[in-house]
């Protein structure tokens, strides 16, 4: 889909205005008017300035048109897919699952299509009231071969579905199979510039890294984009890695989700659909502008079960990998706003300070340095904790703290430092209590102990847990096997 400004040019012609007069009336720059001339997207503010100057309505000067009227493919790829217009649902599922196995249309190793069984599960989670609405719009911002739309069109008129994909091979497949009315090949983040283009459902298997670069996460950006593109009471239906649940300084996504709506479903039993993929996946259904939804949670961490009517407070900084009302209540009690004694440091970072570290002890590299629980190195410098008694907290392995003396640390472990051995021995009893052990385990996103959780645990405080909380705590702790 694209924008057509023929109405604007017609209005200017009727009033005998040229582009110079348009710039004078609106204060627009040459470059903005050039964008209008080329039919490129502009912001809502610009459209409103034009309408105020010309005393007209936005719909009189701009219209959304089908992309197939304007877009020219650059990829010479010719789709060998066949039309699905006469296929039954079962035939369509088999066809798409077979197509998923073909990597000729992939752009990177993590460019994975969604199995149709997962697609059906996700879309069936959406409340039926959505499908009964009139004139709804549905967007798949990264539609691939059209897997989601292929099932979604069994729920609504297929002309209500908008497909977008930047991989031209897959978009050609989608067009060949589904013959959609509304499709585009554009950066999905440009949709926010389209005035009045809002959706009642945004559904997707989100891209989670930039072309295979794991350090360039995209999934959280797509979640926040989806929120912005929804109408009030609209739904997100996403399958995505679970990093949006984690507690870290850069995670604005969970805060935005809890600020602008509430969850209908969180399903953590999804990895079975993506065999051979290292990431852990979550499906969630979320509704914008509705804050009293109670959440159905499908757990598959420590214990596989289903929890109904889970209430997720809007001030949660993270979501544990096992969710229940009792676990949330425990987390709210034992995680505070203030920092505790736990910390970690990077002045002997194993990579950035590698010249200061060696695997061999000698006259230069003489200071023992703990890198991991199994790896000891030697450094040229002596840290200020070297002569203290420190509780080592591994970050990349399970929470099994231990006491050391006469040692530095790299960035791969955290620590709590004490002046005496007795202090360290007493404090290790505190931090290894079952409630702390459980929450640290339930926040091992990506199989790493979460530093923010470790920093904010209220290690020095006493807690009173309810009977249901104690039962839940004991049940879950009994499943931790290390």
Question: What DSSP line would sit under 357-381, residue for residue?
Answer: EESS--SSS-EEEEEETTEEEEESS
Residues 6+ apart with CB under 8 A from 338: 456
Spatial distance between the Cα atoms of 350 and 34, rounded to a whole number of angstroms: 51
CB neighbours (10 Å) of residue 129?
Answer: 9
Nearest to 378 by CA among 411, 409, 401, 402: 409
pLDDT at 346: 95
Give yes or no for a contact between 42 and 36, defined as CB atoms under 8 angstroms apart: yes
- Mean pLDDT lowest for which of 202-211, 213-222, 352-361, 468-477? 213-222
Higher pLDDT, 194 or 316: 316
pLDDT surpasses 50 at 214: no
Across the chain, what does the average pLDDT equal? 91
Model confidence at 24, in pLDDT bands (50, 70, 90)?
A: confident
Q: What would the mean pLDDT of 262-288 be, rounded to a whole number? A: 92
Closest by alpha carbon to 152, among 129, 122, 175, 112?
122
Which residue, chain included where needed, has tokens 């100057």? Answer: 53
CB 47 within 8 A of CB 22: no
Residue (of 286, 303, 304) closest to 295 by Cα position: 286
229-265: b (≥16 Cβ within 10 Å) or e: bbeeebbbbbbbbbbbbbbeeebebbebbbebbbbbb
CATH no., domain 2-65: 1.10.260.40
**404: helix, coil or strand?**
strand
Q: What is the pLDDT of residues 375-411, one digit of tens each?
A: 999 999 999 999 999 999 999 999 999 999 999 999 9
Q: What is the CATH number of domain 89-292?
A: 3.40.50.150
Q: What is the pLDDT of residue 77?
A: 67
Q: What percent of the chain has pLDDT over 70?
A: 92
Residue 216 has pLDDT above 50, yes or no: no
Quickly count: other Cβ atoms within 10 Å of residue 426's Cβ: 11
Q: What is the pLDDT of residue 215?
A: 42
Residue-wise pLDDT tens digits, 297-315 = 999 999 999 999 999 999 9
* Dihedral sign computed on CA atoms, order 30, 36, 39, 45: positive
Q: Which strands, in side-by-side order, build the sheet including 295-301?
A: 182-184, 161-164, 138-140, 199-205, 230-241, 281-288, 261-267, 295-301, 303-310
Give the pLDDT score at 265: 99
Tell me: pLDDT of 470 over 80: yes
SS3 218: coil
CA distances from 117 to 124, 141, 248, 299, 387 (A): 11, 20, 33, 19, 58
Triad 40, 41, 42: Cα angle to 5°? 120
Percent of the chain with pLDDT strictly greater than 90: 71
pLDDT, average across residues 228-245: 96
> Is 418 or 59 the better-scoring residue by pLDDT?
418
Residues in CB range of 311: below 8 A, 6 or more apart = 294, 295, 325, 328
The model's pLDDT over 421-442, given as tens digits with 9 standing for 90+, comes to 999 999 999 999 999 999 999 9
Model confidence band, residue 254 (pLDDT cutoffs 50, 70, 90): very high
Sequence-distant (6+) residues with CB within 8 A of 6 are 63
CATH 3.40.50.150 occupies which residues in the chain? 89-292
Band of pLDDT at residue 152, cut at 50, 70 and 90: very high
pLDDT-based confidence at 195, cuts 50/70/90? Answer: low
Q: What is the mean pLDDT of residues 346-357?
A: 96
pLDDT of residue 48 exceeding 50, the answer is yes
283: Cβ–Cβ under 8 A, 6 or more apart, which residues? Answer: 118, 121, 122, 125, 237, 238, 239, 265, 266, 267, 270
Task: Kindly report, residue by residue over 54-103, the tens digit of the pLDDT.
Answer: 888 877 887 755 545 456 677 676 788 888 878 888 899 999 999 988 87
* Residue pointed to by tokens 């509304």: 182
CA 269 to chain centre: 17
Check pLDDT > 60 for residue 189. Answer: yes
The whole-number pLDDT of residue 212 equals 43
Half-sphere exposure of 100 (CA within 13 A, CB side): 22
CB 60 within 8 A of CB 7: yes
What would the mean pLDDT of 207-211 be, rounded to a whole number?
A: 63
Read off the pLDDT of residues 102-137 as tens digits, 9 standing for 90 and up.
877 876 666 789 999 999 999 999 999 999 999 999
Q: What is the pTM of this model?
A: 0.83
pLDDT at 115: 95
Residue range(s) of every CATH 1.10.260.40 domain in the chain: 2-65
The encoded tokens of residue 201 equal 């459902």
């Amino acid at each position: 889909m694209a924008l057509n400004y023929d109405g604007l040019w017609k209005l200017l012609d009727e009033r005998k205005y040229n582009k110079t007069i348009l710039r004078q009336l609106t204060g627009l720059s040459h470059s903005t008017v050039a964008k209008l001339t080329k039919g490129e997207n502009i912001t809502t503010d610009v459209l409103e300035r034009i309408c105020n100057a010309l005393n007209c309505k936005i719909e009189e000067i701009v219209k959304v048109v089908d992309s197939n009227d304007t877009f020219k493919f650059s990829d010479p790829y010719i789709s060998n897919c066949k039309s699905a217009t006469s296929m039954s649902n079962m035939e369509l599922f088999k066809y798409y699952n077979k197509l998923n196995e073909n990597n000729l249309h992939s752009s990177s190793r993590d460019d994975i299509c969604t199995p149709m069984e997962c697609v059906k599960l996700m879309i069936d989670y959406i409340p039926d009231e959505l499908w009964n609405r009139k004139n709804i719009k549905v967007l798949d911002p990264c539609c691939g071969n059209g897997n989601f739309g292929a099932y979604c069109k069994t729920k609504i008129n297929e002309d209500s579905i908008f497909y977008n994909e930047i991989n031209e091979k897959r978009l050609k497949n989608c067009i060949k199979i589904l013959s959609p009315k509304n499709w585009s090949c554009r950066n999905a983040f440009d949709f926010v510039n389209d005035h009045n283009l809002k959706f009642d459902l945004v559904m997707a298997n989100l891209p989670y890294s930039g072309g295979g670069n794991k350090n360039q996460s995209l999934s959280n950006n797509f979640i926040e984009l989806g929120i912005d593109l929804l109408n009030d009471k609209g739904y997100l239906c996403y399958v995505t890695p679970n990093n949006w649940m984690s507690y870290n300084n850069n995670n604005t996504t969970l805060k935005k989700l809890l600020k602008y709506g509430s969850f209908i479903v969180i399903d953590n039993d999804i990895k079975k659909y993506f065999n051979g993929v290292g990431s852990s996946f979550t499906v969630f259904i979320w509704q914008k502008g509705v804050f009293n939804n109670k959440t159905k949670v499908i757990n598959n961490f420590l214990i596989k079960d289903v929890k109904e009517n889970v209430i997720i407070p809007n001030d949660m900084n993270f979501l544990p990998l096992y969710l229940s009302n009792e676990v949330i209540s425990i987390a709210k009690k034992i995680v505070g706003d203030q920092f505790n004694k736990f910390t970690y440091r990077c002045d002997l970072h194993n990579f950035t300070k590698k010249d200061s570290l060696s695997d061999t002890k000698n006259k230069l590299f003489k200071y023992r340095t703990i890198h991991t629980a199994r790896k000891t190195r030697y450094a040229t410098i002596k840290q200020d904790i070297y002569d203290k008694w420190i509780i080592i907290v591994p970050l990349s392995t399970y929470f099994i703290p231990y006491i050391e003396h006469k040692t530095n640390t790299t960035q791969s472990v955290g620590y709590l430092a004490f002046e005496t051995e007795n202090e360290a021995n007493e404090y290790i009893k505190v931090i290894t209590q079952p409630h702390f052990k459980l929450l640290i385990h339930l926040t091992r996103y990506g199989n790493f102990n979460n530093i923010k959780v470790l920093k904010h645990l209220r290690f020095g405080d006493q807690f009173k847990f309810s009977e249901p909380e104690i039962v839940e705590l004991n049940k879950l702790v009994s499943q931790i096997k290390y």
